[in-house]
Amino acid sequence: MEAKAEEEARIKAQLEAKAKALEEARIKAVEEARIKAEASKAKAKAEEEARLAALEEARLKAEAEKARAKVEEEARLAALEEARIKAEAKAKALEEEERARLKAIDEAAKALEAEEAQLQAEAAALAAELEEAKAQKEEEERRLAEARALEEAKQSAMEAELEQMEFELARMEAEEATLQAQTEALARENALLAELASAEDTAEKEAALLEMQAEAMRAKNEQLLQLAEVMAAEEEAAKKRAEVEKEVAAAAEAARAAAQADAQRLAEEVAQAKRDAEAQAKQAEADRIRAEEEAATEAARLRREAEAAAQAAQEEARAVAAAAAEAEDRELQELRERMEQLERERQALISEQEQMIAMEKQAAMESAVLDAVESSESADFEAEQAAQAAQAAAEAAAEQAVEKLRMQREERYRKTAKAQAEARRGASLANNSTTNMDNCMSWTGGGLNAGCTHQIVYNKKYMEGMEQYLELIMHVGFDGWTNNNMEVPMYPLPKDDPVRRQSWELEHGPGDWWTCTLDIPPTAVMCDFVFSGGGNLFDNNLGEDYHTQVSGGLSINELEEGIYHKLKEGKAERDRELDEQCYRSTVARQLRMAGLGKKKDGAEEALDGRLKRVAKFLRVEPSNPVAGQEVTVLYYPAHTPLKHDNQIYVCGGWNRCRHTETVRLEMAKQDDGWYSLTLQVPPDAYMLDFDIMNRQGRDSNGRHGMVDNNYKKGYHVPISGSTATEKLLHVVNVAVELAPVAKVGGMGDVVTALSRAVQDEGHRVDVIVPKFDCLRYQYIDDLHRVEDFQHDNVTIGVWKGIVEGLEITFLDPENGMFEHGCIYGRGDDHIRFRFFAHAAASFIRLMGARREQADIVHAHDWQGAPGMWGDLLT
């Protein structure tokens, strides 16, 4: 006993010494931390003052730099504006100069028009002179006639002389005709001169030409006078008739030669003047066009230069402003970072102080912690071994699940390929085949061979009304219109096409034959086709279509194999994603079953979610109340509709307000602005339900007070350890939309939101939707196939997955009803969704047989409600 007492005293002394040493160490550490904190605080204060001074200096420098940049920018903008004004003035001056030059050209044209009018007037005067000369000539003829009459009366011998005079008169008429021709030539020359009026320097030449013409006319008149004098001399001296005849003949010959020479010279001068005028007009027009082009080019160049200068100035201004703003942003960012750094340092100092305070508690718990560590290491090692074993088992199970999924998928692809091959082959063999129809159509080479190119001809006149269209289209498909449907344009068969010699109808018949070539697929056994000319006019062989057998196509087994590989290749990426999802989901499910990574149930998640949302103004202590113990409700009205009230009440009860005890008590206000109320939880309570009010009941006027009832949902706090349990519901939602994996309209949002709200209340929720091939699989977690069942002689795969925290059941029928790349819009939606509703009802019955009976089935909208109503009530 004494030894034991001594041992206890020794241990006690050791513990006291150790405690004293720890206390001294703690005091020393606290003092060192205080000194260090004060030094750090002084240092931080000095650094903060230096930083603030530097920031102020940087701010002043930035403001000065900003002001300088602003002044420079204003000066540069002023210079750019001045350059723009100068460029606009220069462009305007060039435009005015061009207008003046064009105006001068217009005035010159008007002057030429005036000169043309003057020349026309002179030509009219010359015509009048010609008329006067003609009148004089007629007068001379009259006098000569009188002289001839007198001479015939006096002397018969004068007959010969008279005959000679008649000859002279004929000559004069010839000269008159010559003068008339000259007058007409003068008129033509005036017309030519009118065409040459646009030339600027032809006025002098035209005046000289007219003067020469007038001189020629005067010469002609003088010749006429000389001729008259000769005739008078012949009357007076008959004896000298021969001489006079000779002189007259010589004079006439000379006059004719001179007239011809004058006419030839005048024609040459007119032609030369015309050529000169044309050349000058072309040169003037070219000069005008060149001047206009040069002026336009110069004006455009000046405008481009001005615009480029203005744009460059704007870009430079924007660059300068952006650089200044960027520099200012960088400085502000540096200031913010420095402030954040100082804040972090301050928080670090506070944390150090808190750590020093915590060291006191840590020292007292050291021995307990050391003992706990030893036991914890052993437990961690065992847990790690168990986790590794569970991981290996989960991975093995996942590989088996993926292999099973692959086998099921292969079997489904085989069934689908076989069904499609039989459908295509059956549809093709059910049609009547022909390679030629008289006066209608014909394949030029006879029968069709798979994998080859063939030519067809068609008589456009065969179908009444087809000729009114300018085009002809051949609509082609294969194997009962189930493969490679297309439209092939046709064109008229050429007259020299060798195909025409193969048939009398093609070469000599009255038909309008058109043709085209067609590539036959190697898998085809029947070619199906019709013709159309435009609009809604079709030649479809009186509703039976045209069909031609194809030789050498694939057998049904080869066709089935090809369809199978095409299906497999087309969905390879999707199948790979499904395999990965199946693997991940199986591993996660196996780990959960092994107790690793266990999730909270619906009630716990609902409670956590509600407490997080309202934590800033409402909480309970403890956070998980226990039946038979106390619970304190804390409320902070400053963040609620009751922020102006001083009296706050809790009004409610227990167990969804079905309990006999009720709560109507006033809360006590605390110093920090919170209100509190402590309640004793009944032993049989599993839920606390309440609202917050500013009075217990009605006032003197019978009115209720202000209520905070969580938007009419109330506040509900689950209680653990109750002797009574709340019956939770099993709710099943049946719909064809579910946000975000299969959303078209608002129904998808409603289904997801409603299901989550019910689940948040702690109830079990299942959602049943079709497994469309266009689902957004990236939003589905833990997707895996769990089972199959039969409905209406169709195998339906049942898949499970998690979407937005909800457990979703996807129904995947093997008849392909939901493998069309869309949710709505195929024209058979009522058929597909009625089938889905009946299949969902069969699955719900299957759940009931497994004691998973649904309490509530919510069939959404017209897609699910009619079929569900009929199935579940019968």
Domain boundaries, the chain: 431-567, 602-718, 730-872
Rounded to an integer, the average pLDDT of 448-457 is: 91
Indicate the pTM of the whole model.
Answer: 0.31
Least confident among 208-212, 613-617, 660-664, 688-692:
208-212
Average pLDDT over residues 602-617: 61
Which pLDDT value is given to residue 255?
A: 56
CATH architecture of 602-718: Sandwich (2.60)
- Determine the pLDDT at residue 734: 94
Q: Is the pLDDT of residue 724 over 50?
A: yes
pLDDT at 190 over 80: no
Hey, how many other C-beta atoms are within 10 angstroms of the C-beta on 303?
13
Segment 741-760 shows an average pLDDT of 90
Give the mean pLDDT of 235-256. 62
Give the three-state DSSP class for 1: coil
Which residue pairs, CB below 8 angstroms and at least 24 apart, start in 494-500? Answer: 499/444, 499/455, 499/457
Residue 376's pLDDT is: 47
User: Which residue would you say has higher pLDDT here, 316 or 854?
Assistant: 854
Highest mean pLDDT among 2-11, 82-91, 624-633: 624-633
Q: What pLDDT digit, counting tens, does each position of 765-813 carry?
A: 999 999 998 998 888 888 888 999 999 889 999 999 989 889 999 999 9
What is the reported pLDDT for 37?
A: 72
Residue bearing the bigger pLDDT, 490 or 508: 490
Q: Which of 382-386, 534-538, 676-680 has the highest mean pLDDT?
A: 676-680
Query: Is 412 a residue whose pLDDT tops 70?
Result: yes
User: Where is mean pLDDT largest: 29-38, 283-292, 334-343, 476-485?
Assistant: 476-485
Is residue 820 over pLDDT 70?
yes
Per-residue pLDDT, averaged over 283-309, amounts to 71
Provide the pLDDT for residue 304: 76
- DSSP conformational letter for 520: P
Between 77 and 540, residue with greater pLDDT: 540
Q: How far is CA 79 from CA 68, 90, 91, 310, 313, in A?
A: 17, 16, 18, 10, 9
Strand partners, 529: 476, 546
Q: Closest by alpha carbon to 807, among 844, 768, 845, 775?
A: 768
Q: Which residue has the higher pLDDT, 240 or 760?
A: 760
CA–CA distance, 209 with 213 (Å, rounded to integer): 6
Whether 432 has a pLDDT exceeding 70, the answer reads: yes
**Lowest mean pLDDT segment, chosen from 286-300, 428-442, 730-744, 771-785:** 286-300
For the domain made up of 730-872, the CATH class stated in words is alpha beta
Buried residues in 764-779 as b, exposed as e (16+ CB within 10 A): bbbbbbbbbeebeeee
Mean pLDDT of 706-722: 87
CA angle 431, 436, 439 (to 5 degrees): 125
Instruction: Name the percent of the chain lying above pLDDT 70.
Output: 69
Q: Within a 10 A sphere around the Cβ of 13, how many other Cβ atoms?
A: 10
Local structure of residue 503 (DSSP, 8 states): -
Question: Which pLDDT band, with edges at 50, 70 and 90, does 455 fall under?
Answer: very high
Q: Which residue in this structure is represented by tokens 């002389």? A: 161
How confident is the prediction for the chain on average, in pLDDT? 77
Residues 6 or more apart whose CB falls under 8 angstroms from that of 36 comprise 352
Per residue in 23-44, pLDDT (tens digit) is: 787 788 777 777 877 787 777 7
Residue 531: predicted pLDDT: 93
User: Which of 155-169, 303-317, 688-702 is most confident?
Assistant: 688-702
475 confidence band (pLDDT: 50, 70, 90):
very high
Contacts of 119 (CB under 8 A, 6+ apart): 190, 193, 194, 206, 210
C-alpha span between 136 and 172 (Å, rounded) = 12
CB 730 within 8 A of CB 853: yes
Mean pLDDT, residues 320-328: 68
Q: 403 or 351: which carries more pLDDT confidence?
A: 403
Q: For the ranges 174-183, 286-295, 470-479, 523-532, which has the lowest average pLDDT?
A: 174-183
For the record, the structure tokens of 508 come out as 């000599």
Domains 431-567 and 602-718 share a fold: yes
Beta strands 715-718 and 730-734: pairing type? unpaired
DSSP tag of 238:
G
pLDDT at 418 over 60: yes
Q: What is the pLDDT of residue 187?
A: 64
Q: Which residue has the tokens 């209340």?
A: 761
Kindly report which listed range (261-270, 280-289, 538-547, 739-748) carries the lowest average pLDDT score.
Answer: 261-270
Average pLDDT over residues 366-374: 45
* Per-residue pLDDT at 370: 46
Among 241-255, 688-702, 858-872, name the one with the lowest average pLDDT: 241-255
What average pLDDT score do residues 426-440 get? Answer: 75
So what's the pLDDT on residue 142? 76
Query: For residue 167, what pLDDT band results from cuts at 50, 70 and 90?
Result: low
Q: How buried is residue 103: exposed, middle or buried, by Cβ count under 10 Å (0-12/13-18/19+)? A: exposed
d(CA 199, CA 113): 10
Which residues lie closer than 8 Å to 813 by C-beta, 6 or more apart?
791, 794, 795, 796, 797, 835, 839
> Does CATH number 2.60.40.1930 belong to domain 431-567?
yes
How far is residue 849's CA from residue 787's CA, in Å, rounded to a whole number? 15
The arithmetic mean of pLDDT across residues 723-736, rounded, is 87
Lowest mean pLDDT: which of 547-551, 606-610, 634-638? 606-610
Span 715-722, mean pLDDT? 89
Task: Give the pLDDT band of residue 63 (cuts 50, 70, 90).
Answer: confident
Residue 445 DSSP label: T
Q: Which residue has the tokens 């015939």?
A: 152
Least confident of 19-23, 564-568, 674-678, 800-804: 19-23
pLDDT at 169 over 90: no
Residue whose entry in the numeric block shows the structure tokens 């009230």: 645
What pLDDT score was predicted for residue 291?
65
- For the residues 95-116, what does the mean pLDDT come to? 72
Mean pLDDT lowest among 180-189, 499-508, 789-798: 180-189
Q: What is the pLDDT of residue 668?
A: 93
The answer to whether 125 touches 183, Cβ cutoff 8 Å, is no
Q: Per-residue pLDDT averaged across 696-720, rounded?
A: 76
In this structure, the number of other CB atoms found within 10 A of the CB of residue 16 comes to 10
Q: Tell me the mean pLDDT in the region 114-131.
A: 69
Provide the CB-side half-sphere exposure for 499 (13 A, CA).
Answer: 22
Q: Measuring CA to CA, which residue among 516, 518, 520, 517 is closest to residue 451?
A: 520
Lowest mean pLDDT among 315-324, 587-596, 817-826: 587-596
